Chain A
Amino acid sequence: DSGVTQTPKHLITATGQRVTLRCSPRSGDLSVYWYQQSLDQGLQFLIQYYNGEERAKGNILERFSAQQFPDLHSELNLSSLELGDSALYFCASSSWGTFYGYTFGSGTRLTVV
């Protein structure tokens, strides 16, 4: 157990639907990062939150959004889902930037049918 909890572990949904992925960071970590991993794209950075505020954005589609709540857990919302959104979604947390390392969760596998 890495200390980062992601739920659900697996999700199967239909095209056009909306889903919410949840991440609880390691105790004490203020930063949360979301990554998408598909077979043809590798690990792609989506978005970072630090203590409730958006800090950096990567290759995140407009159909996707995220937020970090006062208790520091984070949610990634994916809407108008397409077949190409099928991927593993990882959440990572850190106490401060990259220096103290990221701790990754075990991921949510999203399948869009």
Chain B
Amino acid sequence: DAKTTQPNSMESNEEEPVHLPCNHSTISGTDYIHWYRQLPSQGPEYVIHGLTSNVNNRMASLAIAEDRKSSTLILHRATLRDAAVYYCIPAGNNAGNMLTFGGGTRLMVKP
């Protein structure tokens, strides 16, 4: 599994954009970059994933570096409900692959 490095914690103000970085310099060429988040007292939930191109969905945007050694999850307008631990997970797409969670980044959102 590719090793990831994420800040332990970040802080943001409500309604401002948040950029959550992740380094995954040992990612393999076929690994997708998955982002999940875990709200307090809940199971993790899927946020977004991508391979090479930047990706957007209703929750967030994912910007992937050209060399794929890093990526950034972008929350366009943070809300209090976005306070959670965010996990960046490189993972293959075969049936035998699974998600391996690291320490993640704890995002705190201030009103």
Partner-B contacts on A (CB < 8 A): 2, 4, 31, 33, 35, 42-45, 48, 50, 55-56, 58, 90, 92, 96-99, 101-107
Cβ of A42 and Cβ of B101 under 8 Å apart? yes
Contact A101 B46 (CB under 8 A): yes
| B97/A106 in contact, CB under 8 A | no
* B5-13, B15-23, B66-74, B88-96 - interface stretch: B88-96
Chain A contact surface mostly: strand
Chain B interface, DSSP helix/strand/loop, else mixed: loop
Give Cα distance in the complex from A43 to B97, angstroms.
Answer: 16
| 5 A/B residue pairs, CB under 8 Å, sorted by A | A33-B98, A55-B96, A58-B98, A90-B43, A104-B44
B100 touches A45 (CB 8 A): yes
Interface contact B43-A107, CB-CB below 8 Å: yes
| Distance A50 CA – B45 CA, assembled complex (angstroms) | 20
Nearest CB in chain A to that of B47: its residue: A101
| A56 and B96 within 8 A (CB) | yes
